[in-house]
Structure 1
């Protein structure tokens, strides 16, 4: 992010400010010994949805990043035809996924906190139009056609999805929908002393099937562990603890419990399509797809262990 300091000055006009670029669209800002996160955003429409939802979550006492207004009471600024916003920095750290002992210990807490977030999101009323996604259409009308056109995509991935086309539609269609975070990997869940400090990165909030967040959290953990067979074998236990914690705080319907394997596969299909031009990531996500596919009975068994379906 070029000129991060100059942009940050739009919030802190007469203060000494330092800015450190962390990613192309993200910088950490320091002013008066307090840290902030400066972001360049894309869609102003989606940004307004995010602000509206974050405000309501904060009022419901959910731990989320807080938007910082300018001296003119604006939630964002326009600088050289691009939109920027500032958030209070959520102090703490992300969990080290490969520290599976700690992850197993905190997995139930992660599930509980996602459940509490979902309950709050379910009661949010947004004045701004929220993006609505149809998971079935994303898989079969967006992702699969991309794979069919690409010579590098594994044909067996496509064949397996085509064979379960009808079952997938029947499983996904009745699932409860609501506002979800949509980017629920553990880099967006900040902990301090084994307690949640806050959820961050709500930029791609959308209306979708509720269990997408839970399944995405679990598959993102698998992607970090997958290359180490010893760690990979701990994944099912971590998944059971995440869902166990969630179920304590927020109900899951019979339909949701039966659809978890299908939604996990759908997430892998989305990533395979997304990374179709990047050989290493394509291969990883295809291998994860086949691995999850083969673990159907194991996944269903641990879910049944949480609650009798």
Structure 2
């Protein structure tokens, strides 16, 4: 999107003179053309483009409520007329304050242990904040079906949020693995993961981030300073966020035994930091290694459906490594 188009959109907010506009770019993480930084005087802001299907009341409620609770997120700044997003065709745009900090792309460099422990503590705080957010229940009056075309969709009811089905995803991946004649190690890892979920007590569910990979966390001096991208927020186990983050770090360590040892240290510090703030249940301790495996199953299934052989291969490699190191993972995450 060119600068003039961005400035035209920003004219729907009361910012006055826009002094600079810059598209977000990074060498490590893909640039999607969805985020733009701009200045108004000395103040910095972010304009984000999201799919209209994601521009519902849940996103803006979560951001606003977390901000009220002191969680470092960027709440939406209303446009003129009080709209939290401006929608045009299939896309919506919202504006938020600029958060200090930067994405860390040196996961195993100096400060790794402090950074990992900070993440664990901050994630526990995020989960505590998400748990306090009250959404409409099924018994409340329905939201009118007609809404202005320039407004985001209404806040969904709690009952309409589908809970993540990790076990179902693992079983579906195992079925695909058998059809495609993947290795016995892959099939065995998936079957063991399914059995672990089936033989354990149910994991408690709550609102979670759902997209909590390393590129959605900001750091400054190895401390978490911001959380990004809540468009996928849903109901699920809080272990999903913890394990999704740590598996995203593992992708940089798959071909280096030295980094793999550091990854185990990072995992230990993430879990340790989390437990400083929130208590993990016995079921969560038991299933944590298998949630790591389940996340790889989710991505293997995703890349199989997308016919992305490279993506399948990378996540199969991660699955095999995790399964081969379950004893070490249990040791560093033991309660």
TM-score calculated relative to the size of structure 1:
0.89
- Alignment equivalent of 1:10, drawn from 9, 12, 32: 12
Q: State the SS of the aligned residue for 2:245.
A: helix
Which residue in the other structure is 1:27 paired with? Answer: 36
Which residue in the other structure is 2:171 paired with? Answer: 140
Q: For residues 67-216 of structure 1, what are the structure 2 equivalents within 5 Å?
A: 67-127=76-136, 128-129=156-157, 130-141=161-172, 143-147=173-177, 156-162=185-191, 164-171=193-200, 174-216=202-244
User: Which deviates more from structure 2 when the two are superposed, residues 181-190 or residues 254-263?
Assistant: 181-190
Q: For residues 269-284 of structure 1, what are the structure 2 equivalents within 5 Å?
A: 269-276=297-304, 277-284=307-314
Q: State the SS of the aligned residue for 2:46.
A: strand
User: Which deviates more from structure 2 when the two are superposed, residues 94-103 or residues 247-256?
Assistant: 94-103
Please tell me whether the aligned partners of residues 27 and 37 of structure 1 are also in contact (alpha carbons under 8 angstroms): yes
- Provide structure 1 residue ranges, at least 5 long, that are not aligned to the other structure: none
* Deviation (angstroms), 1:206: 0.6
Which residue in the other structure is 2:323 paired with? Answer: 293
> Runs of 4+ in structure 1 displaced over 6 angstroms?
none
Q: Does structure 1 residue 65 correspond to structure 2 residue 74?
A: yes
* Deviation (angstroms), 1:179: 0.6
Distance (whole Å) between structure 1 residues aligned to residue 184 and residue 330 of structure 2: 26
Distance (whole Å) between structure 2 residues aligned to residue 156 and residue 4 of structure 1: 50
* Deviation (angstroms), 1:58: 1.1
Q: Does structure 1 residue 51 correspond to structure 2 residue 60?
A: yes
Distance (whole Å) between structure 2 residues aligned to residue 81 and residue 205 of structure 1: 20
Structure 1 residues 98 and 243, CA gap change in structure 2 (3 angstroms)? closer
* Deviation (angstroms), 1:188: 1.5
- Map Cα deviations across residues 20-59 of structure 1 (whole Å, 9 max, x no partner): 2333222222222322222222244653101111111111
Which residue in the other structure is 1:38 paired with? Answer: 47
Please tell me whether the aligned partners of residues 189 and 319 of structure 2 are also in contact (alpha carbons under 8 angstroms): no
Please tell me whether the aligned partners of residues 36 and 87 of structure 1 are also in contact (alpha carbons under 8 angstroms): yes
Distance (whole Å) between structure 2 residues aligned to residue 302 and residue 284 of structure 1: 24
Distance (whole Å) between structure 2 residues aligned to residue 281 and residue 47 of structure 1: 30
- Map Cα deviations across residues 222-278 of structure 1 (whole Å, 9 max, x no partner): 112223322122111111111011011001000000101110000011111222322
Count of residue pairs the alignment pairs up: 302
- Map Cα deviations across residues 135-191 of structure 1 (whole Å, 9 max, x no partner): 2123324x445555657x6564234313553333233x6111111111112222212
Q: State the SS of the aligned residue for 1:198.
A: strand
Q: State the SS of the aligned residue for 1:121.
A: helix
Distance (whole Å) between structure 1 residues aligned to residue 285 and residue 219 of structure 2: 28
Q: State the SS of the aligned residue for 1:281.
A: helix
